[in-house]
Amino acid sequence: MTLAGRALALVSFFVCGAAFADVEEGWTALWSLHEAATAKGNHAVVADAADRMAVQADNPLAPAARALAAWHSMKAGRLDEARRRWEALAAAEATDPAGRAARVMAQRWLTRLDREDVRAALQAYYRRHIRYPDSLKTLAALREAPRWSPTDRWGQAWRYEAMALKRLGSPAQRYNLQSPVLGRDSDLAAALERQLEGPPLKPATVISAGAGGRSAVRFLAGAAEEPVVLAEGADYKGMTLAYLGRTRVLLSDGDRWWWLPLPGGGR
């Protein structure tokens, strides 16, 4: 079955109302579409299928589905649509680990989208002056420049530096523009094209807490397989355990999800 056909079957499954008799089964089906689209394209189909999952009532993975839809919208080149999706996630009340992880993800991607607005304003300045401004305060005074935000999504001013071409001695022919939070990871295109080599944390053992307690997972981190124990909502070096299910766990690295099977078939 083609990717579009699988997506249509998945959407029909959601619409019929049976999808979330098992939340993990529904998400696993969506995840298989995500992996296929990541390898072969057709991102718009996955975004539409994720939307169907996101509107299901009482689904703890709905925020993750909305974030997945926004990510595939970006990959499809539908940046205005992606921005609307991320804005909704950033503004939503997040009371559970998956929702909070999705909101962080929204802040990071919105910062990169906002940086594209600053870059457009810088290009408008360059077309007029044949150089980049010495500071963003100078750019703010240019009425003809496209609208842009002076801060990233954490309220911190952009780090901006205009640079000359050393060989030619020309003033301000290049620039460096970063979010203080994201640093070198601020560029939208580079972040979207980043190749992932494998999950940075591998589930090893489920630790049951007993009645009324919180279960946790012991992971193995890195090549040295350092043991790390995380409960839902806890993080380790930028990796957050957003959802601990019956058979799988959902991790977030801040920009993407990881849907990993629990050892031994689950708990």
Q: With pLDDT > 90 as the criterion, what percentage of the chain qualifies?
A: 57
pLDDT band at residue 142 using 50, 70 and 90 as cut-offs: confident
Helix residue spans in the chain (DSSP H): 3-15, 23-40, 43-54, 62-75, 79-91, 97-129, 136-140, 188-193
- The per-residue pLDDT for 213 is 66
- The per-residue pLDDT for 166 is 63
Of 158, 175, 192, the position where a domain reaches its end is 192
Higher pLDDT, 177 or 143: 177
148 φ/ψ angles, rounded to the nearest 5 degrees: -155, 160
Determine contact, residues 97/240, Cβ cutoff 8 Å.
yes
* Judgement on whether residues 144 and 88 belong to the same structural domain of the protein: no
Task: With respect to residue 100, please indicate whether it lies within any of the assigned structural domains.
Answer: no
Query: 230 by DSSP, 3-state: which?
Result: strand
* Count of domains for the chain: 3
- The per-residue pLDDT for 20 is 40
1 pLDDT above the threshold of 90: no
* Judgement on whether residues 214 and 184 belong to the same structural domain of the protein: no
Task: With respect to residue 6, please indicate whether it lies within any of the assigned structural domains.
Answer: yes
Q: What is the pLDDT of residues 25-55, one digit of tens each?
A: 889 999 999 998 877 778 888 888 888 888 7
CA 218, 220, 29, 104: dihedral to nearest 10 degrees? 80
Task: With respect to residue 164, please indicate whether it lies within any of the assigned structural domains.
Answer: yes
Of 162, 177, 192, the position where a domain reaches its end is 192
* Judgement on whether residues 83 and 10 belong to the same structural domain of the protein: yes
The DSSP bridge partners found for residue 165 are: 170
Comparing CA positions, the residue from 86, 108, 100 lying closest to residue 182 is 108
Domain, as residue range, for 146: 109-192
Task: With respect to residue 101, please indicate whether it lies within any of the assigned structural domains.
Answer: no
Among left, alpha and beta (phi > 0; psi -120 to 50; other), residue 183 is left
Higher pLDDT, 54 or 144: 54
Inter-CA distances, 24 with 59, 60, 250, Å: 10, 10, 10
Task: With respect to residue 167, please indicate whether it lies within any of the assigned structural domains.
Answer: yes
Q: CA Rg, the chain, in Å?
A: 21
**Cα–Cα distance, 214 to 242 (Å, whole number):** 14
* Judgement on whether residues 51 and 19 belong to the same structural domain of the protein: yes
* Judgement on whether residues 10 and 82 belong to the same structural domain of the protein: yes
Q: What is the pLDDT of residues 163-190, one digit of tens each?
A: 876 665 567 788 999 999 999 999 999 9
Q: What is the pLDDT of residues 185-224, one digit of tens each?
A: 999 999 999 887 788 899 999 987 655 567 899 999 988 8
- The per-residue pLDDT for 96 is 92
* Judgement on whether residues 264 and 206 belong to the same structural domain of the protein: yes
What's the count of helices (H) and strands (E) in the chain, helices before strands?
8, 9
62 pLDDT above the threshold of 70: yes
* Judgement on whether residues 182 and 224 belong to the same structural domain of the protein: no
Higher pLDDT, 47 or 108: 108
Task: With respect to residue 97, please indicate whether it lies within any of the assigned structural domains.
Answer: no
**Cα–Cα distance, 52 to 58 (Å, whole number):** 13
- The per-residue pLDDT for 120 is 93
Q: How many CB atoms lie within 10 A of CB 166?
A: 8
- The per-residue pLDDT for 237 is 93
- The per-residue pLDDT for 3 is 47
- Give the chain's largest Cα–Cα span: 71
* Judgement on whether residues 18 and 80 belong to the same structural domain of the protein: yes
Task: With respect to residue 256, please indicate whether it lies within any of the assigned structural domains.
Answer: yes
* Judgement on whether residues 3 and 87 belong to the same structural domain of the protein: yes
**Cα–Cα distance, 75 to 47 (Å, whole number):** 10
18 pLDDT above the threshold of 90: no
Block residue for tokens 């689904």 = 59
pLDDT band at residue 71 using 50, 70 and 90 as cut-offs: very high
Of 67, 92, 117, the position where a domain reaches its end is 92
Structure tokens belonging to residue 156: 């911190």
* Judgement on whether residues 77 and 145 belong to the same structural domain of the protein: no
Q: How many CB atoms lie within 10 A of CB 225?
A: 11
CATH of the domain at 209: 2.30.30
Task: With respect to residue 102, please indicate whether it lies within any of the assigned structural domains.
Answer: no
139 pLDDT above the threshold of 90: no
16 pLDDT above the threshold of 50: no
- What is residue 154's DSSP assignment? T
Segment 137-153 mean pLDDT: 85
- The per-residue pLDDT for 181 is 97
Segment 232-248 mean pLDDT: 94
- The per-residue pLDDT for 140 is 83
* Judgement on whether residues 88 and 3 belong to the same structural domain of the protein: yes
Block residue for tokens 């150089």 = 131
- The per-residue pLDDT for 210 is 58
